[in-house]
């Protein structure tokens, strides 16, 4: 168990205009620099308490992998300091540095020895590693014959054969099939319970939300935001859609959730209300109640096409339902500057007990990735209570009916 | 500094020895004869040189009339040169070839050249054992003087390892080094009295040859195995100093560039 403390961490790569320039710099050390420094990570500061799980998100090239490599110790920081104690196990990309000509078993032994295990200890762990990887007879074939999924299965099994104090996982899990992903997340969760500190890079929103206590968003080599996974992921989502003129704003809502607003602002949401059956704004809703979502929008500049969408998310950020006017075949074409529109969605609250948030989006096409006028995460909040309906569990109200037929002859025979 | 490197090598000895064994196994994995090939290769070389030079071409060394004299002369130079060139060649590629591992695993990088040297030594050990067997069978075994080869070998290994590490580190940054080493080794081979005898050369060339640090090493082996002569230790002092200097330079270069090396792989 250990604290991890990262202070002022930065990584720069040297870029030489040509190999000759590098040679000149090497043999003429006093003639000055001939390279440009390209910073891929700068001013990274964060702390992890023992047993904490942190997810790192960010677009490609944001510096996530470089950060993890430095944490794992393979890449040397250009600046700053990393304090990390205990046994660190790292799964960096695919294959874990397996030697393609050696068999799986030999690679396991080699890896174990690199983790500082003795041959006897590796022998003891081997059956368990084999069983977890489930690659069968392939264990005695050279690794070059493995599929990428098999390599990853073996790599994960070796790296996690013993519970490490710190586990670093870079994207690796996305290679496996869903069965193995599930299995490896189970193992990660059990490590977490036992006190392992976890640092994970993933593009899988679900993975980060369910496993991590905290998320760090990296953007262009710097920490853009850290906090609750749901909030960070919403912000990241908004950032993904960011274009030249877009702005991103965040505000903290009454219940602590963060509302993120981003977009070009060519069209914006003026008012959004969730109305209950009584026609009044509703923040407490009965299971199955008929609801209306009324959204007023106005265009500040001319846009060729306009689509409004909404999405209901639960407390953990999982999407319950989402739809937009494109999919409902009602996009507005050629919207003039200054023109407004009012949308009313009708739906029934077929949801389980709990608190939910509605996110709204104004975009040109089906997806906000293409052109995002405005994206408003957690625009409205509401709670669902269950008074009138049967006492069910889960997040969907499926209105189950029951028929029971008793067969008394069967019981007589018994 | 050498303390920490030596400490790392000791702590990871299991990995180093395991890797040497695994590489040896992997080489003969899918072959029917397996490890036998490790013996057949050098055996074939000794037979070829003995048959072609000693029997067919009737090559003779001045002052020696044994049928095997030239063959022994040739082998004592060729086999030890083979060790030298294998260490340098392996060293030159050791970081580039293991780039995958270096990028993904955290371990002392100095293990890699150590593995390369040990692998070369394993091959040399087999070859050398066959050579000794050949000496015994042909009745040309020079006696206990063969143990004088051990310090000579140590100097040679240090010389080769120093050169190999320097080439290995440089090769990561300048791929030209790998190409260059191949060419240099070829010229160097012919510039060393292995196939020919230095005594047959004109005096100016002989003086030039004395600048070659490999020449006194190879000549020591030839003296030991062919003539049963104890090496002239004084002649080995310069090459020993060069070997130490190369090792120190190699380790310094390695220490200074190890971090940057990962960025280049």
Is the pLDDT higher at B53 or at A406? A406
pLDDT given for residue A96 in this prediction: 64
Residue pLDDT, tens place only, A187-230: 888 888 888 888 888 877 777 887 888 898 888 888 888 888 88
Identify the band that residue B218 occupies on the pLDDT scale cut at 50, 70 and 90. very high
pLDDT in tens, A97-124: 788 888 888 888 888 888 778 888 888 8
**Residue A66 in contact with partner chain B when CB distance is under 8 A:** no
| Cβ atoms of A198 and A84 closer than 8 Å | no
Residue B156 is predicted with a pLDDT of 93
The CA distance from B170 to the nearest CA of chain A, in Å, is: 10
Q: Do B14 and A118 make contact, defined as CB atoms within 8 angstroms?
A: yes
CB nearest to B105's CB, from A13, A74, A116: A74
Classify strands A197-201 and A166-170 as parallel, antiparallel or unpaired: parallel
* A110 contacts B18? CB cut-off 8 A: yes
Tell me whether A13 touches chain B (CB under 8 Å). yes
Q: Do A22 and B102 touch (CB under 8 A)?
A: no
Sheet hosting strand A340-348, strand order edge to edge: A267-275, A290-299, A340-348
A278 burial class (0-12, 13-18, 19+ CB within 10 angstroms)? exposed
Q: What was the ipTM of the complex prediction? A: 0.72
Candidates B10, B13, B15, partner chain A, best to mutate (most A CBs within 10 A)? B15
Q: What is the pLDDT of residue B62?
A: 67
Where do we find the tokens 């470089």? Answer: A66
Query: Residue A337 and residue A300: Cα distance in Å, rounded?
Result: 5
Is the pLDDT confidence value at A174 over 70? no
A168 contacts A92 by C-beta, under 8 angstroms: yes
Reported as a single tens digit per residue, the pLDDT across A334-362 is 988 888 899 999 999 999 988 888 999 99
Chain A contacts in chain B segment 14-33 (CB below 8 A): 14-15, 18-19, 22, 25-26, 29
The DSSP result for B91-155, as a single string, is: HHHHHHHTHHHHHH--S-TTHHHHHHHHHHHHHHHHHHHHHHHHHHHTT----GGGGGHHHHHHH
Helix axes B111-137 and B69-97, enclosed angle (nearest 10): 170
Q: Do the Cβ atoms of B48 and B78 come closer than 8 Å?
A: no
Q: Which of residues 87-116 of B touch A (CB under 8 A)?
A: 100-107
B3 lies within 8 A of chain A by CB: no
Contact B18 A93 (CB under 8 A): no
Domain ranges of chain A: 245-385
What is the end-to-end Cα distance of chain B in Å, rounded?
Answer: 25
CA angle A212, A254, A256 (to 5 degrees): 15
Interface mutation vs chain A, best among B102, B105, B115, B265, most A CBs within 10 Å: B105
In which residue are the tokens 């008394």 written?
A408
Q: Do A110 and B22 touch (CB under 8 A)?
A: yes
List chain A residues with CB under 8 Å of B104: 74, 90, 92-93, 95-97
Q: What is the mean predicted confidence (pLDDT) over A117-139?
A: 87
- B104, B169, B252, B253: which to substitute to probe chain A, counting the most A Cβ within 10 Å? B104
Which chain B residues touch A26 with a CB distance below 8 Å? 173
Evaluated on CA atoms A342, A345, A346, A351, the torsion sign reads: negative
Q: Say what the pLDDT of residue A1 is.
A: 47
Contacts of B101 in chain A (CB under 8 A): 97, 99
Chain A hits for B22, CB-CB cut-off 8 Å, are 99, 102, 106, 109-110
The stretches of A46-177 forming alpha helices (DSSP H) are: 64-72, 104-114, 119-133, 148-159
pLDDT of residue B3: 65
Question: Containing H/E element for A48?
Answer: strand A36-48
Backbone φ and ψ for B55, nearest 5 degrees, come out as -95, -55
| Domain A245-385: top CATH class | mainly beta
Residue by residue, DSSP assigns A177-190 as -HHHHHHHHHHHHH
Residue of chain A nearest B102, judged by CA positions? A74
| Interface residue A16 vs chain B (CB under 8 A) | no
Q: What's the CA gap between B94 and A307, in Å, rounded?
A: 58
Name residue, tokens 């050696």: A102
- What whole-number distance in Å separates Cα of residue B73 and Cα of residue B194? 8
CA distance A135 to A146: 9
What the block records as the tokens of A279 is 């026609």
Q: Could A95 and B101 be called an inter-chain contact, meaning their C-beta atoms sit closer than 8 Å?
A: no
- Tell me how far apart the terminal alpha carbons of chain A are, to the nearest angstrom: 58
Contact B106 A90 (CB under 8 A): yes
Q: Measured between alpha carbons, how far is A324 from A131 in angstroms, rounded to an integer?
A: 46
With CB atoms and an 8 Å threshold, state whether A14 touches B107: no
- The model's pLDDT over B117-175, given as tens digits with 9 standing for 90+, comes to 999 999 899 889 988 988 888 888 888 888 988 999 999 999 999 999 999 999 998 88
CA A309 to chain centre: 22
Other C-beta atoms closer than 10 Å to the C-beta of B141 total 16
Minimal Cβ distance to B174: which of A23, A69, A75: A23
Is B2 a residue whose pLDDT tops 60? Answer: no
Residue A307: band (very low, low, confident or very high) from pLDDT cuts 50, 70, 90: very high
Burial status of residue A89 (CB atoms within 10 A of its CB: 0-12, 13-18, 19 or more): buried
Contacts 24+ apart (CB under 8 A), B23-28: B23/B115, B23/B119, B24/B119, B24/B122, B25/A106, B26/A99, B26/A101, B26/A102, B26/A106, B26/A142
Q: What is the DSSP string of A236-281?
A: HHHHHT--TT-EEEEEE-TTS-EEEEEE--SEEEEEEEEE-TTSSB
CB pairs A-B closer than 8 Å = 74
Instruction: Name the token pair of A229.
Output: 């996974």
Say yes or no: B260 contacts chain A, CB-CB below 8 A. Answer: yes
**B64 phi-psi bin (left φ>0, alpha ψ -120 to 50, beta other):** beta
pLDDT, chain A, mean: 83
Distance in angstroms (rounded) separating the CA atoms of residues A132 and A128: 6
pLDDT tens per residue across span B47-99: 887 777 767 766 666 666 677 788 888 888 988 999 999 999 999 988 988 88
Distance between CA atoms of residues A344 and A308, nearest Å:
10
Minimum distance, in Å, between the CA of residue A15 and any CA atom of chain B:
10
Report pLDDT for A295. 92
% pLDDT > 70, chain B: 94
Strand partners, A308: A362
Check B262 against A102: CB less than 8 A apart: no
Confidence of residue A244 (pLDDT cuts 50, 70, 90): very low
Q: What is the pTM of this model?
A: 0.71
Q: Is A92 on the interface with B (CB under 8 A)?
A: yes
Q: How many residues does chain B have?
A: 265
Among the listed residues B185, B71, B84, B85, the one whose alpha carbon sits nearest the alpha carbon of residue B130? B71
Say whether residue A69 is in contact with chain B using an 8 A CB cutoff: yes
CA nearest to B175 within chain A: A19
> Minimal Cα–Cα distance from B99 to chain A, Å?
9
pLDDT of residue A24: 80
List the helix and strand counts (H, then E) for chain A.
9, 20
Overall average pLDDT of the B175-181 stretch: 90
Is B105 in contact with A97 (Cβ distance < 8 A)?
A: yes
- Which pLDDT band holds residue B1 (cuts at 50, 70, 90)? very low
A248-287 pLDDT, tens digit per residue, is 667 666 666 677 777 788 888 888 889 988 888 888 888 9
CB atoms within 10 A of CB A61: 13
Q: How many CA atoms lie within 13 A of B146 on its CB side?
A: 14
The Cα of A142 is separated from the nearest Cα of chain B by a number of Å equal to 9
A-chain residues within 8 Å CB-CB of B19? 110
Element (H, E) at A223: strand A222-227
- Contact state of B262 with A74 under an 8 Å Cβ cutoff: yes
* Nearest alpha carbon to residue B80 among B218, B235, B216: B218
Helices A104-114, A148-159: axis angle to 10 degrees equals 40
- H or E stretch covering A41: strand A36-48
Give the mean model confidence (pLDDT) for residues B228-233: 87
């Amino acid at each position: 168990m250990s604290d991890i403390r990262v202070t002022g961490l930065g990584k720069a790569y040297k870029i030489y205009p040509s190999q000759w320039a590098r040679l000149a710099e090497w043999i003429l050390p006093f003639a000055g620099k001939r390279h440009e420094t390209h910073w891929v990570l700068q001013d990274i500061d964060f702390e992890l308490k023992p047993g904490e799980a942190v997810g790192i998100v960010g677009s490609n090239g944001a510096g996530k992998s470089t950060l993890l490599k430095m944490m794992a110790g393979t890449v040397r920081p250009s600046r700053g300091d990393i304090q990390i104690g205990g046994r660190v196990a790292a799964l960096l990309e695919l294959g874990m540095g397996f030697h393609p000509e050696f068999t799986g078993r030999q690679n396991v032994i080699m890896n174990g020895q690199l983790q500082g295990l003795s041959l006897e200890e590796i022998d003891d762990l081997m059956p368990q590693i084999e069983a977890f990887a489930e690659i069968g007879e392939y264990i005695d074939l050279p690794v070059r014959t493995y599929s990428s999924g098999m390599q990853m299965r073996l790599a994960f099994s070796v790296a996690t054969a013993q519970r490490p104090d710190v586990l670093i996982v870079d994207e690796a899990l996305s290679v496996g099939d869903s069965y193995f992903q599930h299995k490896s997340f189970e193992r990660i969760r059990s490590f977490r319970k036992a006190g392992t500190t976890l640092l994970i890079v993933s593009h899988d929103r679900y993975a980060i939300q369910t496993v991590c206590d905290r998320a760090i968003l990296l953007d262009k080599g710097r920490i853009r935001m850290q906090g609750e996974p749901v909030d960070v992921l919403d912000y990241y989502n908004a950032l993904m859609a960011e274009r030249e003129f877009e702005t991103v704003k965040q505000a903290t809502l009454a219940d602590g959730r963060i509302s993120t607003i981003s977009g070009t602002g060519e069209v914006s949401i003026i008012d959004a209300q969730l109305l209950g059956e009584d026609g009044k704004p509703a923040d407490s809703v009965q299971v199955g109640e008929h609801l209306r979502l009324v959204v007023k929008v106005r265009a500040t500049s001319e846009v060729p096409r306009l689509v409004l969408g909404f999405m209901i998310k639960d407390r953990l950020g999982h999407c319950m339902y989402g739809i937009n006017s494109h999919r409902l075949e009602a996009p507005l074409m050629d919207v003039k500057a200054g023109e407004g529109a009012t949308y009313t969605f009708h739906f029934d609250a077929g949801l389980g007990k709990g608190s939910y948030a509605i996110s709204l989006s104004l975009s040109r096409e089906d997806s906000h990735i293409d052109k995002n006028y405005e994206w408003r995460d957690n625009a409205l909040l509401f709670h669902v209570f269950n008074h009138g309906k049967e006492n069910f569990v889960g997040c969907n109200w499926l209105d189950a009916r029951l028929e029971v037929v008793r067969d008394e002859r069967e019981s007589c025979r018994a | 500094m050498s303390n920490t490197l030596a400490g790392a090598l000791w702590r990871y000895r299991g990995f180093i020895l395991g890797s040497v064994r695994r590489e040896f196994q992997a080489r003969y994995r899918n072959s029917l004869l397996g490890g036998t090939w490790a013996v057949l290769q050098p055996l074939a070389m000794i037979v070829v040189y003995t048959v072609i030079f000693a029997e067919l071409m009737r090559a003779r060394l001045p002052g020696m009339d044994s049928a095997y004299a030239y063959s022994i002369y040739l082998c004592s130079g060729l086999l030890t040169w083979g060790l030298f060139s294998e260490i340098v060649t392996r060293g030159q590629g050791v970081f580039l070839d293991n780039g995958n591992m270096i990028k993904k695993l955290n371990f002392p990088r100095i293990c890699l050249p150590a593995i390369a040297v040990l692998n070369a030594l394993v091959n040399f050990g087999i070859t050398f054992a066959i050579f000794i067997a050949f000496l015994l069978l042909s009745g040309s075994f020079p006696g206990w003087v063969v143990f004088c080869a051990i310090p000579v070998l140590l100097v040679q290994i240090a010389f080769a390892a120093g050169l190999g590490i320097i080439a290995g580190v440089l090769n990561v940054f300048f791929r030209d080094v790998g190409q260059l080493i191949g060419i240099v080794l070829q010229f160097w081979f012919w510039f060393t009295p292995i196939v020919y005898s230095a005594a047959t050369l004109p005096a100016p060339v002989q003086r030039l040859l004395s600048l070659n640090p490999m020449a006194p090493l190879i000549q020591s082996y030839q003296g030991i195995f062919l003539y049963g002569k104890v090496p002239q230790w004084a002649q080995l002092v310069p090459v020993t100093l060069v070997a130490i200097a190369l090792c120190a330079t190699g380790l310094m270069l390695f220490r200074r560039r190890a971090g940057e090396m990962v960025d280049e792989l």
